[in-house]
Structure 1
Amino acid sequence: MSPAIAEEIRLLLPPRLQLYETWSLRYSLEQHGVSLSTLYDRTSAETTAGGGYVLAIRDSAGGIFGAFLNEPPKPTGRYIGTGECFLWKSSETPLRFRAFPYSGINDYFILSDAHYLSVGGGDGKYGLWLNDTFDKGLSQVCDTFGNELLSEEGEKFEVIGVEVWKVG
């Protein structure tokens, strides 16, 4: 994730988090391996204390997109999070950035278990969904965020990179 994309995301964070200029990388597919359980382990050992997490994904078409999560992702099997969550997508050259904030239609923010991580939902669709080995993903228009597809590959995409950054 480039500094320019990070700045676009920072401007949309809750005001208490916009002050943090330094984010810490908690998980990287490249550094920590292909494992959803490792992602959970590297984010669950800490409390958010008002902080949040930026999930960033790179697909095989070169797109960069993701979500802001106001809670660490964890395998609860039930929805967690609040309306501070949002989806985003970007392209780096030239920089184009688009965010999809909470629509107010439902409260389907973060849903995950041992086999997947998802953000946003409604009518059997996911705003963003990743499998546990981070090779396949899904992005659909969902009621929670009223988003457009995040990947230029379409609803289904191939994952090339995943990062989770701690803010706050």
Structure 2
Amino acid sequence: MLRAMHYSPLVFGAFCSSPLRVSDCFYGTGETFLFSFSPELQIINPIISCQVFKWTSENSFFVKGNLDSFAFGGGRGIFGLWLDGDLYHGRSHTCDTFNNDILSKTEDFFVHVMEAWALK
């Protein structure tokens, strides 16, 4: 699971059911998904918004990675979540694979904190 944090309390990322690897083509399964998590920081009655964007069966563009970038979801030449090779700059678009909202507040973003978790 990859989790990125923008310079706001917004957290978003991807869960991939396959180990991340360098590949010339997309790989993964329908268990892959994108998510966003946005806590509204207030003292009384904090609001937590969590969205999970599951596979739509529209295509099988789950994950693609090379030395220059990682991409999650796709269609029509855009990705649900794209991260550069340094994991510092990213981009998010609505994609056919997950029919997701834009995960960050803007299409282009800089990563403030990155976490990667391996689950067994």
TM-score (norm 1): 0.66
1:79-158 aligned within 5 A: 79-93=26-40, 94-152=47-105, 154-158=106-110
Q: Is contact 2:12-2:36 (8 Å) kept?
A: yes
Residue by residue over 1:48-103, the C-alpha shift from the partner in whole angstroms, topping out at 9 and shown as x without a partner, is: xxxxxx11000123310001100111111211101000000011232210010000
TM-aligned CA deviation for residue 106 of structure 1? 0.3
The reply on whether 1:66 has 2:19 as its aligned counterpart is no
Q: Distance in 2 between matches of 1:85 and 1:59?
A: 22
Where do 5+ consecutive residues of structure 1 fail to align?
1-53
Aligned AA (1:65): F
Secondary structure of the structure 2 residue equivalent to 1:167:
coil
Q: Distance in 1 between matches of 2:37 and 2:8?
A: 12
- Count how many residue pairs are aligned between Structure 1 and Structure 2: 114
Q: Percent identity?
A: 33
Where do 5+ consecutive residues of structure 2 fail to align?
41-46
Secondary structure of the structure 1 residue equivalent to 2:112:
strand
More helix as a share of residues: 1
CA RMSD in angstroms comes to: 0.9
* Runs of 4+ more than 2 Å apart: none
Residue by residue over 1:5-52, the C-alpha shift from the partner in whole angstroms, topping out at 9 and shown as x without a partner, is: xxxxxxxxxxxxxxxxxxxxxxxxxxxxxxxxxxxxxxxxxxxxxxxx
Secondary structure of the structure 2 residue equivalent to 1:89:
strand
